[in-house]
Amino acid sequence: MGFRFTARAAARGLGLAGWAANLPDGRVEVVCEGEEKDLITFLDKMKNGPMNPYITDADVAWGNPEGEAGDFGIKY
C-alpha cells in the first residue's frame, strides 16, 4: 500500500476530512481537517507507521479550517 492510501486509511479512521495527492516533483501533499488531537494522532501515525522508511522530510503547517467537505480522499 502506498503513502496516499496509508494516509487515507489513517485519516478516515480518525474521522478527518481532506486529501492526499502526488506532486509533480515526487512529493506527496496531505491536507487534513479535524480536531487538533486527531490531527496530532494522524501525524504520529504517519511519522511512526509503516511508511516511515520512505519519509525523508516533512513540512507541517497549521491553519484555520477551510471547510473540506466529507471524507478523506485521494487526488489523482
Structural domains of the chain, count: 1
Angstrom distance (rounded) from CA 45 to CA 12? 12
Angstrom distance (rounded) from CA 1 to CA 62? 27
Residue 56: all three cell numbers together: 525523508
Pick the catalytic residue: 12, 22, 27, 52? Answer: 22
Which residue range is the domain that position 25 belongs to?
Answer: 3-62
Whole-model pTM: value is 0.87
Residue 26 included in any domain? yes
Give the list of residues 6+ apart from residue 13 with CB closer than 8 angstroms, or none: none
Q: What is the pLDDT of residues 39-59, one digit of tens each?
A: 999 999 998 888 778 888 889
Q: Has 4 been annotated as catalytic?
A: yes
Q: What is the pLDDT of residues 16-47, one digit of tens each?
A: 999 999 999 999 999 999 999 999 999 999 98
Q: Has 48 been annotated as catalytic?
A: no
Are 20 and 3 within 8 A, CB to CB? yes
CATH of the domain at 49: 3.30.70.100
Residue 70 included in any domain? no
